[in-house]
Chain A
Amino acid sequence: GESVGLHLPTLSVQEGDNSIINCAYSNSASDYFIWYKQESGKGPQFIIDIRSNMDKRQGQRVTVLLNKTVKHLSLQIAATQPGDSAVYFCAENTDNQGGKLIFGQGTELSVKP
């Protein structure tokens, strides 16, 4: 039969506002985390990463926050632009998985002009 795709969580923001995309990770032993941006029909692009010995890291217009107590990761995008519209994935690296990255489902960000 026909398969139906799941609906991604969606975040809709106004151009110029700040965006916050959240991710709950699964393994308290994970020591490396990464955010990717994927535009339609393209491969994921690296945005920013963070290790478990840090709780915050900043890039250009982006900030990643890590809360190990509640196993939560967030990506903040400042002054969101239409070009930021995409699906955003978080990924974690758990050593006991042989060093492979485990990806979340993704969040679709839609920026309204």
Chain B
Amino acid sequence: DGGITQSPKYLFRKEGQNVTLSCEQNLNHDAMYWYRQDPGQGLRLIYYSQIVNDFQKGDIAEGYSVSREKKESFPLTVTSAQKNPTAFYLCAAAALDGEKLFFGSGTQLSVL
């Protein structure tokens, strides 16, 4: 998947629990993104980062948090404040913000 590795492939969350989704890239791209995809719908932007130690909220950031301590890594935490977390989560990277995105293979998060 173009040098973007997401893990795990499947994740289950208990009520009140925080869970973290991993995203690592070996493309040396500056910009990284997290999207949420619900069945039959397009991609909605959660958070994005254009440079290390900096990130911005997307359209649906509430209930999520991110960090960008290293260029290669952009983990997403789904907090207990996210009341409807069940979705397919996609991480992406781009050499230039807003240009061609390379996507990972996704993580399916479900609630127990």
Contact = CB atoms under 8 A, between A and B. Distances in A.
Interface of A: 3, 5-8, 32, 34, 36, 41-46, 49, 89, 93, 98-101, 103-106
Contacts of A100: 33, 45, 48, 58, 97-98
Interface in B79-103: 84, 90, 92, 97-103
17 contacts: A3-B38, A5-B39, A6-B41, A34-B101, A36-B103, A43-B106, A44-B43, A44-B90, A89-B43, A98-B56, A100-B33, A100-B45, A101-B98, A103-B43, A103-B44, A104-B42, A105-B41
Contacts of A103: 35, 42-44
Nearest to B50: A99
Given A43-B4, A44-B90, A99-B98, A8 B40 contact: yes
Interface of B: 1, 4, 6, 33, 35, 38-45, 48, 56, 58, 84, 90, 92, 97-106, 108
Contacts, number: 66
A32 B99 CA distance: 8
B56 A101 contact: no
A5 B103 contact: no
